[in-house]
Structure 1
Amino acid sequence: METAAHILVVDDDAEIRSLLAESLESYGLKVSVAADGASMQRTLAASKIDLVVLDLTLPGDDGLVLCRNLRSKSNLPVIMLTARGDPVDRILGLEMGADDYLTKPFEPRELLARIRTVLRRTWMLPPNLEKSETRNLRFAGWRLDLRARQLINPDGMVVLLSGGEFRMLNAMLEHPHQVLSRDQLLNLTQGRDADPFDRSVDLQISRLRQKLGDAARGATMLKTVRNEGYMLNADVTVEH
């Protein structure tokens, strides 16, 4: 699967672009490179890209702006690179819709592992779902369309979700009335364990509550279970 993937590396450092391209190509990936947002957009328009590796600090529009703009019109996976270890940068990247993040300096093999994990997660079909089938998860008047990757509210309007929010809601809907710890949710949605300062799960739950209108009702649907994790307090029905 990964050997057929086309990766776009966006970084203003020519040495880093060259190093990452050479390393990823040695593992069978196809790689294109861009130095800024304008060249990134040209490459996206001209080629079928499977995943973007996007540096946070770029001339002109920075990585956060580019990620937010990309996410507003596409579900293309994004791995954010940052030279800063500040957890706020990581949270902002995830909030803009990045699928994962990596702090510089890092080993190219670590980036390769993250790329493979994100691609597997992106391309993996839900259990028992054939490509020709349509599957919806209905809960409390809402509908999550797994084929279109859309959340539809009780009035039939589409509510935009980032890639991380979509996977988080899907994971909760696959385990209704079951308490899931932060580690379990991070493994289900990102394929990794949480570090002590990782707030990505809490952030995504908070944003989902806002979009579901759950925060104003005292979080009765996505409930916090103290010292344990989170639970979806709603019945779920599956439609094919």
Structure 2
Amino acid sequence: MPDSRPVVLIPSYNTGPILPATVAAALAQGVPVRVVIDGSTDGSPDLLEPLLANPLLKVTRLAKNAGKGSAVLHGTRDALAEGFTHVLCMDADGQHPAEMIPDYFGLSHRHPEAAVFGRPVFDASAPALRVNGRKVSNFWANLETMGWGIDDSLFGMRLYPAAGLVEVFESTSFARRFDFDPEVAVRLAWRGVPILNLPTPVRYLSREEGGVSQFRYLRDNTLLTWMHTRLFFGFLVRLPWLALRGENPLLSLSPPRK
């Protein structure tokens, strides 16, 4: 069974002053952190300069904005080249709790064959539209994988086996923007990668707290609709094999939903 040597990967696009706070919180866990600046134009990458003295941190700047998925792909390839085996993706906007990093890494060390998906635990800061709207994507993702165990198809705090993630990217020209999280989840499940779900608090920061969002309701929901249409037809092609292969071997290890 392969070992696990994980690294935190933070893609960022125009995240503003919340970016260094997010990176500093991850570094405080004493783990290696890689940041991929996806063509930011707001000056936020310069705010990381004081943190670069920490040898655990490396920052890569992409010249043009290409989307979250593209930034994650770039960072994952670099992580593999450095000898890391797993990447823990975290959003740069402060939504994901850095104190949960040891929990993700611990599960990966115990089950290096698995992907560890965050199951969001929302508080009062979560917009009802976002909380309820994701149920549609979750329904389709579980249909397309015959209940493989994707508790949340859109939550961005996830730990992936790096080589398997790159293989998924190389199997499709999609999953480069907002469609990244749900599409790679479905495609990993199609490949039989075991999935563990880890309940994880999520907080939506207010504008006064420095919160930012790149989500655009019409644009991104149109992208998700097209994505699930494509994936549904891919599911139909794979249906005989998916029906015969059995369930996610680690399904019973995920905590039950409340």
For Structure 1 versus Structure 2, the TM-score category normalised by the shorter chain is: 0.3 to 0.5
Select the structure of larger CA radius of gyration: 1
Give the TM-score taking structure 2 as reference length.
0.33
By percentage of residues, which structure has more helix?
A: 2
Give the TM-score taking structure 1 as reference length.
0.34
* Bigger relative CO (Cα 8 Å, ≥ 6 apart): 2
